C-alpha cells in the first residue's frame, strides 16, 4: 500500500463538544438577560455591550499577535468576558468605561496569567471590581432616563419596601444585565439542560446564602424578604454565570460543592454586614482565590480505593 | 447490593448498525496464514515445527512456554513456509509461523476424548489450556489461569461479559443472537468448577434480541441469570462490570477473584465450550469488519492467522477513501500502519474509518471544564494527571491514583479542548510500569 494511513494512540473518535461550542452556548444563555437589558434601558445598553466585547476581543488578538502566540479569539471566550462585563455596568456610565474594564480583564487578568484556562480569577468579575475601585462614581451612578430612584438593593439596605415582582421580572434600575432574575434563570436552565453547567455550585451557593439569611437576617423565614435578597443586586448573574466559570472553579465534584457553599456564605456575610453593594462579586473573587486549595483537599478516592 | 451500572462513563455514537443485522459468515482465507507466537499475555509460545513440514488443522505448531502461556494451533491444513519475524497489529515484528494453505482444511483426527463431566476439575482446566484459549475481548489473558483460582469456593459470581460497549463492534452480539446455547453450555462448564457460584450474563439494555435469546436459552438453568445493564461506555471494563453486577469495587492491584468474581468474554466462553465438549482448539474467531469506508461491512468467522487485507476484499473493498485502520474498537483499538498483519486471538474487529477525529482536531488549552472528571469511570482527575504526566511529575501522578487508569479513552473523548489526555496518562503509566513502579 503506497498511501500512508493515519496512525495515533486511541481513542480514535471524539465527542462533539468543543471549547468554542461551549462558549457560544454560554453567549446564547446570556442573551435573554442581555436582550432584556436593552429592552429595559434602551439602545445605550447595546452600545455598552458592543464596545466592551470589541475591546475584549481586540485586546486578546493584539496581545497574541505581538507576543507571537497562536491567536485564540476564535474560541469566543473573550466575547463571553466582554458580554458579562458589559452586563454588570450601569447604563449611564461613559462608553469608554467598558472598554477600560475589558482591556484590564483580558490583558492583566487573563493573558498575563497565560490565557484561557490559566487565569486565577474570573476576568469579567476582576474587570468589574477594577472599575468599581478605580471609577467608583461612574460604577455606582444608577440614575438613568428610565429609573431615577435608588436601585432595589440600595432601597433594601435603607429599609424601604421593594416590589418583589418587579425584581423577578427586572423592570427596575441597576446594572444592565442584572435586573431580571427571570431572564437570567432562563439562560441558566439552558446551560443546565445542555450539560454545560451542573447544579453543584449554584445549588450549594443558593442553599447556604438562603440559610444564613434566614438565620441571621432578623426576618425569620419570610418568602418576600428572601425573594428580594435573592433577586436584587448581581446575585443571580454571579451565582449562575460567574461562580460556574470553569477556569476559576474547582474540577473536583466535592470541591465544587464546597466552593459554592463558600460563595454563598461570603455573599451572605457581605450582604448582611458589609456596606459595598457588590458584595457578591467580591465573594466569588475570594472563592476563586481559594480554588487551588479546595481542589487539593477534595481529590476523590479512586474507584476501588475507598475504604 | 447490585447496581445496573457505574458512575461516570460516556455515551459515544454506537455505529453498530453497519453490521448488527449481518449474520456471521464463514471466511476461507486465500493467502498464507501467519501465526505470531505471542497472541496472549505471558510467555511467548515455542515453535515446534520446521519449514517444509505439513500440518493439519488443529495441530499444535507452537507449544506453551510455562504456566502463564498457551499453545498456538494451525487453523488450516498446509505446509510450513517459514518460521520468522513478521509484522503484527502492535506495529512491531514478532516471531511467527507462516503456513501455506492447501485449502483442504484437513483436521487433525480427534483424540478419543472423555466427556468433560468425567474429568477432574484440574483436567478440565488443563484441556482449556491445551486448546489455547485466551481472553478474546482484547487483553488476551490465558483463560485457564483465570479459572485456576486458589480457593474455588470463594468464587460466587461467574460473569459472562456480554456488554460489548465499544462502538462499531457486533461480533459478540451476533454470537449471542446466533449461538446462545453455546454460551449457556460454556457457562455451565465454568460453573462446574465453582460449586457456590451463580452465572450471570451481563448485557447492555440496547441489545434486546440478544437479551431475549439468552433468556430463552438459559431459562431452565437454575444457576444462571441474565442481568440487564445500562448502555454506557466502558460498561464492559472488568472493574465496571463487576461493580454493576455485584456492587463490589476492585482496584488495579486486585484480581476479580478478590471480589469473588470470574469474568469471561462472549467468544471466550464459546471457545471454552468447544474446547471442553469436543477438545477443539481455538483456531477461529468472529471478526467485525466495519466502518464507513467499506462497501459491505460484515461479521466474519475467520481462521486465526488470516491477513486483515483479505478481509477488506471480502467486505466488498472500499466505498470511500479510508483514512485510518483500527484493530478493535475506536475507543481502545490499535491503529494499523499496515493491513498486511494477521488476525490473532484477540482481534475483535477491523475498523476502516473514512475520517479521523484525531487528525481533524487540534488540541488546545485546557479550560478546566471538568468534563473528564465527570466521565472518568475510575473517579480520577484526568486533566490533572495528564498535566503531571506531561511534566514527568511521577510521585504526584501516583499519589493522584494515576496508576488506576484503565486507558478507556473516555476523558479524551469528552474533552472540548481535544487534549490527548488518555495518551499522556498512558505514556506515564507505561513508563512507570516498565520500571516496576505501581
Q: Taking the alpha carbons of B366, B368, B369, B372 in that order, is the dihedral positive or negative?
A: positive
Mutate: best of B89, B339, B368, B410, partner A, most A CBs <10 A: B368
d(CA A178, CA A238) in angstroms, rounded, equals 9
pLDDT at A156: 73
For residue B184, the surrounding DSSP H or E stretch is: helix B180-191
The distance from CA B164 to its chain's CA centroid, rounded to whole angstroms, is 10
Question: Nearest C-alpha of chain A: how many angstroms from B142?
Answer: 24
Nearest to B401 among A247, A249, A302 (CB): A302
* Residue A291 in grid coordinates: 480554588
pLDDT tens column, B136-173: 988 899 999 999 998 999 999 999 999 999 999 999 99
Q: Ramachandran region of residue B360, left (φ > 0), alpha (ψ -120 to 50) or beta?
A: alpha
Count the alpha carbons within 13 Å of A20 in the hemisphere toward its beta carbon. Answer: 9
**CA–CA gap between residue B205 and residue B288 (Å, rounded):** 21
Cell 433468556 appears where?
B215
A15 chain-B contacts, CB cut-off 8 A? 10, 12, 413-416
> How many A×B Cβ pairs under 8 Å?
162
> What's the rounded mean pLDDT across residues B1-9?
78
Q: Which residue of B has its CA nearest to A291?
A: B368
Say how many CA atoms lie within 13 Å of B62 toward its Cβ: 28
> If you count them, how many residues does chain B have?
438
Q: Which chain A residues contact residue B420 at CB under 8 A?
A: 9
Worst-scoring range by mean pLDDT, A136-150, B17-31, B180-194, B340-354?
A: A136-150
Q: Quickly tell me which residue has 461570603 as its cell.
A: A266
Interatomic CA distance for residues B212 and B173, integer angstroms: 12
Which CATH architecture does the domain made up of A19-294 adopt? Orthogonal Bundle (1.10)
What is the rounded (10 degree) CA torsion for B23, B26, B31, B37? 90
Give residue B1's pLDDT: 39
Phi, psi of A2 (to 5 degrees): -80, -35
- Give the Å distances, CA to CA, from A226 to A141, A269, B34, B303, B375: 26, 15, 76, 73, 37
Domains of chain B with CATH codes: 116-278 (3.40.50.11540), 371-434 (no CATH)
Cα A269 from Cα B310, distance rounded (Å): 72
C-alpha closest to that of B282 among B106, B81, B60, B56: B60
Cβ-based contacts of A194 with chain B (< 8 Å): none
pLDDT interval class at A307 (50, 70, 90): low
Cβ-based neighbour number of residue A287 at 10 Å: 29
Residue pair B332/B407 in contact (Cβ under 8 Å)? The answer is: yes
A11–B331 C-beta distance less than 8 A: yes
Residue A300 contacts B, CB cutoff 8 Å: yes
- The pLDDT > 90 percentage for chain A reads 75
Q: Which three cell numbers stand for residue B83?
A: 518460521
pTM of the model: 0.93
Cα R_g (chain A), whole angstroms: 20
Which of A154-158, B67-71, B168-172, B311-315 is least confident? A154-158
Taking an 8 Å cut-off on Cβ atoms, the answer to whether A22 and B416 are in contact is yes
Q: Is the pLDDT of residue B56 over 80?
A: yes
Q: CA B180, CA B214: separation in Å to the nearest integer?
A: 6
Residue range A40-68, pLDDT digits in tens: 999 999 999 999 999 999 999 999 999 99
Pairing of β B284-290 and β B72-73: unpaired
Q: Are B413 and A118 within 8 A, CB to CB?
A: no
A150-154, A203-207, B323-327: range with lowest mean pLDDT: A150-154
What does residue B302 show for φ and ψ, rounded to 5 degrees? Answer: -115, 135
How sure is the predictor about B333, in pLDDT bands with cuts at 50, 70 and 90?
A: very high
Calculate how close chain B gets to A15, using CA atoms only, in Å: 5
Contact A196/A21 with Cβ under 8 angstroms?
Answer: no
The DSSP bridge pattern shows strands B157-161 and B54-55 to be unpaired
Q: Is residue B239 over pLDDT 60?
A: yes
pLDDT bracket for residue B61 (50, 70, 90)? very high
Q: Indicate whether A210 pLDDT > 80.
A: yes
Neighbours of A91 (CB within 10 A): 25
Confidence band (pLDDT; 50, 70, 90) for A233?
Answer: confident
Counting beta carbons within 10 angstroms of the beta carbon of residue A280, is it exposed (0 to 12), middle (13 to 18) or buried (19 or more)? buried
Residue A31 has pLDDT above 60, yes or no: yes
φ, ψ dihedrals at A4, nearest 5°: -90, 135
**Mean pLDDT for chain A?**
92
Q: Which residue do the cell numbers 511467527 mark? A: B96
The ipTM assigned to this model is 0.92
Q: Say what the pLDDT of residue A276 is.
A: 67
| Average pLDDT score over residue span A231-247 | 93
CB contact under 8 A, A9 and B422: yes
Any chain B CB within 8 A of the CB of A15? yes
Residues B298 and B289: beta-carbon distance below 8 Å: yes
- In angstroms, what separates the C-alpha of B389 from chain A's closest C-alpha? 16
* Per-residue model confidence as pLDDT tens digits over A146-193: 676 677 777 777 777 778 788 888 888 889 999 899 999 999 999 999
Residues B376, B384: Cα–Cα separation, whole Å: 12
- The percentage of residues in chain B with a pLDDT greater than 70, rounded to a whole number, is 99
Q: Which residues of A touch B377 (CB under 8 A)?
A: 303
Task: Provide the pLDDT confidence category of residue B3 given band limits of 50, 70 and 90.
Answer: low
Which sequence spans correspond to the domains of chain A? 19-294
* Residues of chain A contacting residue B165, judged by C-beta atoms under 8 Å apart: none
Please compute, for residue B267, the number of CA atoms within 13 A of its CA located in the half-sphere on the CB side.
30
Provide DSSP, A218-287: SS-S-HHHHHHHHHSTTHHHIIIIITT-TTTS-SSHHHHHHHHHHHHHHHHHHHHH---TTHHHHHHHHH
Among A residues 93-122, those touching chain B with beta carbons less than 8 Å apart: 115-118
What's the average model confidence in pLDDT over A269-279? 83
Amino acid at each position: 500500500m503506497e498511501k500512508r494511513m493515519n496512525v495515533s494512540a486511541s481513542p480514535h473518535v471524539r465527542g462533539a463538544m468543543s471549547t468554542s461550542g461551549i462558549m457560544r452556548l454560554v453567549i446564547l444563555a446570556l442573551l435573554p438577560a442581555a436582550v432584556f437589558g436593552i429592552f429595559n434601558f434602551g439602545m445605550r445598553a447595546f452600545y455598552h455591550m458592543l464596545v466592551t466585547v470589541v475591546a475584549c476581543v481586540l485586546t486578546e488578538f493584539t496581545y497574541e499577535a505581538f507576543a507571537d502566540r497562536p491567536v485564540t479569539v476564535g474560541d469566543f471566550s473573550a466575547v463571553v468576558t466582554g458580554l458579562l462585563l458589559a452586563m454588570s455596568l450601569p447604563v449611564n456610565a461613559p462608553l469608554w468605561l467598558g472598554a477600560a474594564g475589558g482591556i484590564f480583564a483580558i490583558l492583566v487578568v487573563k493573558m498575563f496569567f497565560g490565557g484561557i484556562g490559566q487565569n486565577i480569577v474570573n476576568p469579567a468579575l476582576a474587570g468589574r471590581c477594577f472599575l468599581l475601585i478605580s471609577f467608583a462614581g461612574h460604577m455606582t451612578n444608577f440614575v438613568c432616563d428610565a429609573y431615577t430612584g435608588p436601585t432595589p438593593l440600595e432601597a433594601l439596605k435603607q429599609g424601604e419596601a421593594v416590589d418583589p415582582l418587579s425584581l423577578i421580572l427586572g423592570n427596575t434600575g441597576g446594572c444592565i444585565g442584572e435586573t431580571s432574575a427571570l431572564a437570567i434563570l432562563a439562560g441558566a436552565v439552558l446551560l443546565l439542560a445542555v450539560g454545560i453547567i451542573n447544579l453543584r455550585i449554584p445549588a450549594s451557593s443558593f442553599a447556604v446564602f438562603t440559610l444564613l439569611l434566614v438565620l441571621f437576617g432578623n426576618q425569620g423565614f419570610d418568602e418576600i424578604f428572601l425573594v428580594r435578597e435573592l433577586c436584587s443586586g448581581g446575585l443571580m448573574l454571579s451565582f449562575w454565570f460567574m461562580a460556574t466559570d470553569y477556569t476559576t472553579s474547582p474540577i473536583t465534584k466535592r470541591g465544587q460543592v464546597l466552593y459554592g457553599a463558600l460563595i454563598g456564605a461570603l455573599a451572605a456575610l457581605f450582604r448582611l454586614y458589609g456596606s459595598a453593594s457588590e458584595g457578591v462579586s467580591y465573594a466569588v473573587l475570594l472563592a476563586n482565590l481559594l480554588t487551588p486549595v479546595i481542589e487539593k483537599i477534595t481529590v476523590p478516592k479512586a474507584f476501588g480505593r475507598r475504604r | 447490593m447490585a447496581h445496573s451500572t457505574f458512575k461516570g462513563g460516556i455515551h459515544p455514537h454506537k455505529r453498530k448498525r453497519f453490521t448488527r443485522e449481518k449474520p456471521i459468515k464463514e471466511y476461507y482465507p486465500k493467502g498464507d496464514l501467519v501465526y505470531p507466537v505471542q497472541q496472549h499475555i505471558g510467555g511467548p509460545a515455542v515453535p515446534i515445527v520446521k519449514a517444509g513440514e505439513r500440518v493439519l488443522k488443529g495441530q499444535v505448531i507452537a507449544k506453551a512456554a510455562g504456566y502463564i502461556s498457551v499453545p498456538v494451533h494451525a487453523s488450516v491444513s498446509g505446509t510450513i513456509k517459514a518460521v520468522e519475524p513478521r509484522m503484527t497489529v502492535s506495529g512491531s515484528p514478532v516471531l511467527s509461523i507462516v503456513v501455506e494453505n492447501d485449502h483442504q482444511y484437513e483436521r487433525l483426527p480427534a483424540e478419543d476424548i472423555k466427556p468433560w463431566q468425567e474429568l477432574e476439575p484440574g483436567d478440565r482446566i488443563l484441556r482449556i489450556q491445551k486448546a489455547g484459549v485466551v481472553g478474546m475481548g482484547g487483553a488476551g489473558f490465558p483463560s485457564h489461569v483465570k479459572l485456576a483460582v486458589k480457593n474455588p469456593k470463594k468464587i460466587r459470581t461467574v460473569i459472562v461479559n456480554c456488554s460489548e460497549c465499544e462502538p462499531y463492534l457486533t461480533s459478540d452480539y451476533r454470537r449471542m443472537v446466533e449461538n446462545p446455547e453455546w454460551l449457556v453450555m460454556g457457562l455451565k462448564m465454568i460453573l462446574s468448577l465453582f460449586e457456590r457460584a451463580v452465572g450471570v450474563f451481563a448485557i447492555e439494555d440496547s441489545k434486546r434480541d440478544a437479551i431475549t435469546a439468552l433468556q430463552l436459552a438459559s431459562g431452565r438453568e437454575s444457576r444462571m441469570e441474565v442481568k440487564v445493564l445500562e448502555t454506557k461506555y466502558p460498561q464492559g471494563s472488568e472493574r465496571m462490570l463487576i461493580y454493576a453486577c455485584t456492587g463490589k469495587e476492585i482496584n488495579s492491584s486486585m484480581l476479580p477473584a478478590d471480589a469473588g468474581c470470574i469474568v469471561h468474554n462472549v467468544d471466550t466462553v464459546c471457545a471454552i465450550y468447544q474446547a471442553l465438549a469436543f477438545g477443539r482448539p481455538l483456531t477461529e474467531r468472529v471478526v467485525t469488519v466495519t466502518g464507513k469506508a467499506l462497501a459491505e461491512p460484515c461479521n466474519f468467522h475467520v481462521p486465526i492467522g488470516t491477513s486483515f487485507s483479505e478481509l477488506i476484499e471480502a467486505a466488498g473493498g472500499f466505498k470511500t477513501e479510508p483514512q485510518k485502520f483500527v484493530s478493535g474498537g475506536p475507543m481502545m483499538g490499535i491503529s494499523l500502519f499496515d493491513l498486511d498483519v494477521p488476525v490473532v486471538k484477540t482481534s475483535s474487529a477491523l475498523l476502516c474509518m473514512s475520517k479521523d477525529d484525531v487528525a481533524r482536531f487540534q488540541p488546545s488549552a485546557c479550560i478546566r471544564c471538568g468534563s473528564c472528571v465527570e466521565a472518568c469511570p475510575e473517579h480520577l482527575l484526568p486533566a490533572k494527571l495528564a498535566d503531571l504526566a506531561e511534566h514527568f511529575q511521577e510521585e504526584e501522578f501516583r499519589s493522584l491514583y494515576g496508576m488506576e487508569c484503565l486507558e478507556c479513552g473516555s476523558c479524551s473523548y469528552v474533552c472540548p479542548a481535544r487534549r490527548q489526555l488518555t495518551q499522556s496518562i498512558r505514556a506515564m503509566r507505561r513508563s512507570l510500569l516498565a520500571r516496576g513502579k505501581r
